[in-house]
Amino acid sequence: MSVTENFKPTIVAFCCNWCSYAGADLSGTNRLQYPANVKIIRIPCSCRLNPMFVLRAFQKGADGVILCGCHPGDCHYTTGNYYARRRMTLLFSLLDFMGIERGRTRVEWVSAAEGAKFAATMNEFTETIMKLGPNRRLEDLRCRKD
């Protein structure tokens, strides 16, 4: 796939309110840089992430979707991220089964203290998506911008 020079990927990052969202905040206050095309959507807990959200993000133009939550064991609601972990494992596996590029989906555990990890993760993920190019296999043609 030839990646156009000026391809600016849209990344949707679903961040849990208690850890990762605060982590994103911290990376901001620490003036760590991560690409501006990462759009953060705050969710109350990583287990709030309905598989439908992931798919609809792709529909509406995302090229990559990442879920950030508290580290296993640290969930504000004790167990939410454990459920999220199983769900996302199965969802990503099915997407892979249907031929959607594996690199487009990711889960990363980011605590409120890990501002640096958040920025690094986003940089790395954006890099991966840049390499993969625009999302074509799970896009809705009606939503295409060009």
Contacting positions for another protein (CB under 8 A) = 51-52, 55-56, 58-60, 72-73, 79, 82-83, 85-103, 105-107, 137-143
The Cα–Cα gap between 42 and 21 comes to 7
Q: How far is the CB of 70 from another protein (least distance, A)?
A: 14
Q: Which is nearer to another protein, 67 or 112 (CB)?
A: 67
Q: Which is nearer to another protein, 33 or 72 (CB)?
A: 72
Extract the tokens encoding 115: 């501002």
- What is each CA distance from 94 to 18, 99, 110, in whole angstroms? 29, 9, 25
Q: How far is the CB of 30 from another protein (least distance, A)?
A: 26
The Cα–Cα gap between 142 and 115 comes to 36
What 3-state DSSP class applies to 114? Answer: coil
CB of 7 within 8 A of CB of 133? yes
Q: Which is nearer to another protein, 36 or 52 (CB)?
A: 52
Q: Which is nearer to another protein, 32 or 83 (CB)?
A: 83
Q: How far is the CB of 93 from another protein (least distance, A)?
A: 5
